[in-house]
Amino acid sequence: GSLVQVLTIHSAPRLEVELSSIPEIFHPFSEEFGWEYNKVFVDDVSYHEGHGQAYENYGIDRQRGCLVIVRPDQYVSGIANLEDIGEVDGFFSDFLKPQSK
């Protein structure tokens, strides 16, 4: 398995998104299990649970989105704009080091 798990919550209407159009990094393919669509969620009305309104409740701009780094103990370590790759890289490079073969 991966050290980092990517979960996606998108804000497009549920019925307007074809899951196969979502980039593979958000739903990787496994020879054993096929496409992992259980890592892609939608912030829209649910068939049975109402509406989570995550974007509204967390103050996230639906057009810009954001990236949230959450530790395994559920502590939010960082929040960044999707374009802030350097900030995210800096965060992980503090404790993740390249492996040598």
The secondary element (H helix, E strand) that includes residue 90 is helix 85-93
Q: Give residue limits of the domains in the chain.
A: 1-63, 66-101
- Point out the residues of the chain with pLDDT beneath 50: none
Tracing tokens 């992980």 back to the chain, one arrives at: 92
pLDDT at 86: 92
Residues 33-65, buried b or exposed e (16+ Cβ, 10 A)?
A: eeeeeeebebbbeeeeeeeeeebeeeebeeeee
pLDDT at 98: 81
| Alpha helices by DSSP H, 36-84 | 54-57
Q: Is the pTM of this model over 0.85?
A: no
